[in-house]
Amino acid sequence: MDEIFVIAFTFQTLRITIPYLLPSIGGVYSEKGGVVNIALEGILLMGAFFTTLGTHISGNIYTGLLFGMAAGLLTALIHAYITITLKSNQIVSGIALNILALGLTKFLCKIVFNSSSNSARIIGLETLDLPFNPFLLVCLIVLGVSYYSIYKTRFGLRLRAVGENPEAADSLGICVSRMRYAGVLISGLLGGLGSAWLAFNQHSYTDGMTAGRGYIALAAMIIGKWNPLGAAAACLLFGLAESFTLQFQDSAIPTQFIQMLPYVLTIIVLAGFIGKATPPAADGIPFEKKD
């Protein structure tokens, strides 16, 4: 265990944590406002594809980033429209969007890159300059801003109010659907941002490359008790576990056993350490305005 190894291990953990952390915080915004966002997985997939597409077309990562975030935002907008304006079941909408994203990205990939599995190589970002990694910085800023905005600002208070008790919030003149839209859209933006990192780090788009990260982000949010800081800690835990499976493969322990560890860890943490995780009271319930 020399110093270089410890540094490499730490950086690797941070790199892996980024695409969990951003959507996870996005999930906090959405659910604090009372909308369950299972569509995060689809948002990530769309974001990753459009980041790649934007970068491929323009040859410039900023355009790619813009494309990715716009795709995330748009996917979230659909989710918001279905669940808030049309008051449909949030789980159904989320799953439908995930399936849609899976098919749509394949379809578009086939059209643009003549393969439903892989895109061409894009410029992307070098990862080894990690102390100055822009995405890590973005993560820290997002973390700080989200904590402050959810717990210390009027916006946050209103967001939490419509998630806990929309009737009461409504009676005080807060527009419930506007707040909920805001929560879902922010989660779309953050999801798009997180998936842009995936695409930049990998320098390409691969079919299904998010590999369930959206769901893991949701799990981290629940473990973190719907609190940005808690969610971030949970994401770090997942990142650590995954990094562990990568680094300790070449040892006497069978790989299958090591690859099982993150999941065992999740179960242990869920079952034993965090205590009861209580979601916002009106989470998942469409709001019907009564006259």
Partner 1 sequence: MKYKILILAITLLTFSCGKKDEPQNNTGKLKVGLVFDVGGRGDKSFNDAAYRGLEKAKQELGIEFEYIEPGPGADREAALRQFSNRKDISVIFGIGFIFTDEITKIALEYPDKKYACVDYTVDPAKTIPPNLVALEFREEEGSFLVGAIAGLLTKSNKVGFVGGMESPLIKKFQVSYEAGVKHVNPKCEVLIGYAGVTGDAFKNPGKGKELALGQYSEGVDIIYHASGVTGLGVFEAAREVKKFAIGVDSDQNDEAPGIVITSMIKVVDVSVYEIIKEVKDGTFKGGRVENFGLKSKGVDYVYSEKNRHLIPDEVHKRVETIRQEIIEGKISIPVK
Which residues here bind partner 1, judged by CB under 8 A?
4-5, 8, 12, 15-16, 78, 82, 86, 88-89, 92-93, 96-97, 99-100, 102-104, 106-107, 110, 113-121, 124, 126-128, 198, 201-204, 206-209, 211, 243, 246-247, 249-250, 255-256, 259
Q: Are 220 and 100 in contact (CB under 8 A)?
A: no
What's the closest the beta carbon of residue 244 comes to partner 1, in angstroms? Answer: 11
Nearer to partner 1, 82 or 234 (CB): 82
Nearer to partner 1, 19 or 166 (CB): 19
Angle at 80 between CA 78 and CA 86, to 5 degrees: 95
What's the closest the beta carbon of residue 53 comes to partner 1, in angstroms? Answer: 14
Nearer to partner 1, 100 or 229 (CB): 100
What's the closest the beta carbon of residue 82 comes to partner 1, in angstroms? Answer: 6
What's the closest the beta carbon of residue 100 comes to partner 1, in angstroms? Answer: 4
Nearer to partner 1, 71 or 161 (CB): 71
Nearer to partner 1, 55 or 227 (CB): 55
What's the closest the beta carbon of residue 176 comes to partner 1, in angstroms? Answer: 20
Q: Which two tokens stand for residue 212?
A: 């369930």
What's the closest the beta carbon of residue 227 comes to partner 1, in angstroms? Answer: 28
- CA 90 – CA 40 distance, rounded (Å): 12
**14 contacts: CB under 8 Å, gap ≥ 6:** 130, 133, 136, 239
What length is written for the chain?
Answer: 291
Q: Tokens 């930049």 correspond to what residue?
A: 200
What's the closest the beta carbon of residue 265 comes to partner 1, in angstroms? Answer: 17
Nearer to partner 1, 6 or 57 (CB): 6
Nearer to partner 1, 29 or 197 (CB): 197
